[in-house]
Structure 1
Amino acid sequence: MKIAIFGATGRVGSRVTQFALAEGHEVQALVRNKEEAKRVIGKAVLIEGDATNKESIEQTLQGCDLVFSALSTDKTFTLSQATPLIIDGMNEHGINRIITVGTAGILNSRFEKDKYRFQSGESKRRSTFAAEEHAKVYTLLVKSTLDWVILCPTYLPDGESKGLVRHEEIFLPLDGKKITVEDTALFAFKELINPGYQNTRVGLSY
């Protein structure tokens, strides 16, 4: 299987890339700097470019079967600008399934009807910029015809796999406090290769 990966040098994206390569899948990754990326994901086919550039997106998607995106907001509008280009490119190339990493902030509030968690008292974050960007991605995917899943981990520290990941559709698992990057990446890779969800948001935590 050939997988297009966006955000492949980030914490979650690099581990998903490494899992895919270790399992014998081909990876085509869009990166900003090839030389730096080689040190992290050297065995992947590296496309140097910009996630907000249509040609870069097109080149990355060429010949791929699946798409994984771990693009972050990084205090910019890159995420909401890149997503429409990825969706359009997938449609043009006949690629149907995409897994993205979002934030627990765009899951539904358990206690305040018709609100995202970031809009409710469940969120402790002062800035909502990242959640608002991820909410735009959710809206775009809902309007698309793609087979999509947004994985929404809560607090995401580095660390080894602890296993026993809890996952719940639309909501964050009750009393979920954190999940490591490693377990998030493992769950994402498994969901990419062996689908368990379709057209939904999935909360992840221990």
Structure 2
Amino acid sequence: MKIGIIGATGKAGQKLTQEAIKRGLDVTAIVRDASKLTESVQVIEKNILELTEEDIKPFDVIINTFAAPLTDAEQYRVMGKHLIAIFSDVSTRLIVVGGAGRLFVDETSTTHLFDTPDFPEFLIPSSKNQYESYLDLKASSIKWTYVSPAAFFDPEGKRTGNYEVGKDHLIFNSAGESYISYADLAVAIIDEAVSEKYLCAAITVVGEK
């Protein structure tokens, strides 16, 4: 399987790259600055907005880990629309690592996590733009999967290799925590890349500490 990882030098991107290599997959890093790579893989050195249909056509799956600056949250929609455009006429699948803010916290599915009083105010613009980008993806005709981490997305957490999958509601582990390590999220995403279990669907993942 040929996998491209957009943002392979970021925290999530590095874990995904390592996990894909561990599984023996054919990995290409899609990055703005190849000098920051810590793994020996093939490289496409481009900004997302420079990517073309020809760039992504050879891949089975592209995983997008792009995180916009907090000061430029609208980039989520700009980048998302560009990706939808270049994926429209190819068989390549797009997996997007999004945010937890879109998840519902009530049984009636009316209140998103980003609407709750304790949600950090400085994250609301990014979270809402990520959600709008997810809606754009949902309305598209491309092959996609949108993955929301748990509310506490831990860059230093261990790789247990175990996780639980939910859909559109915030879910919790055995300790009652909405938690996932970057390493276990990478396990879940590479599992999904290989299995195609949740094609054209959004999921969330929770794990143990």
2:159 aligns with 161
Q: Does 1:83 align with 2:84?
A: no
2:119 aligns with 124
Once the 2 structures are TM-superposed, how far is the Cα of residue 87 of structure 1 from its aligned partner? 1.5
Question: For 1:12, what is the secondary structure of its paired residue?
Answer: helix
2:45 aligns with 48
Question: For 2:158, what is the secondary structure of its paired residue?
Answer: coil
Q: Does 1:63 align with 2:61?
A: no
Q: Which whole-Å CA distance do the structure 1 matches of 2:97 and 2:185 have between them?
A: 9
Once the 2 structures are TM-superposed, how far is the Cα of residue 46 of structure 1 from its aligned partner? 1.1
Q: Which whole-Å CA distance do the structure 1 matches of 2:54 and 2:125 have between them?
A: 29
Q: Which whole-Å CA distance do the structure 2 matches of 1:62 and 1:88 have between them?
A: 13
Contact 2:149 2:180 in 1 (8 A): yes
Deviations 1:177-197, CA, capped at 9 Å, x for gaps: 321111011111111111222
Once the 2 structures are TM-superposed, how far is the Cα of residue 59 of structure 1 from its aligned partner? 5.2
With over 3 angstroms needed to count, the CA separation of the structure-2 counterparts of 1:166 and 1:124, relative to structure 1, is: same
Q: Does 1:92 align with 2:89?
A: yes
How many residue pairs get matched? 199
Contact 2:97 2:147 in 1 (8 A): yes
1:176 aligns with 177
Aligned mate of 2:135, from 128, 139, 142: 139
Question: For 1:129, what is the secondary structure of its paired residue?
Answer: helix
Q: Any gaps of 5 or more consecutive residues in structure 1?
A: none
Structure 1 outlier segments of 4+, above 6 Å: none
Q: Which whole-Å CA distance do the structure 1 matches of 2:134 and 2:116 have between them?
A: 18
Q: Which whole-Å CA distance do the structure 2 matches of 1:70 and 1:113 have between them?
A: 26
Moved more, 130-139 or 104-113: 104-113
Contact 1:29 1:60 in 2 (8 A): no
Once the 2 structures are TM-superposed, how far is the Cα of residue 70 of structure 1 from its aligned partner? 1.0
Q: CA RMSD in A?
A: 2.0
Contact 2:170 2:178 in 1 (8 A): no
Once the 2 structures are TM-superposed, how far is the Cα of residue 57 of structure 1 from its aligned partner? 4.1
2:189 aligns with 188
TM-score of the aligned structures, taking structure 2 as reference length: 0.85
Aligned identity (percent) is: 22
1:14 aligns with 14
AA aligned opposite 1:168: G
Deviations 1:88-143, CA, capped at 9 Å, x for gaps: 21123332x2221111111123256423221234x531220221121122111111
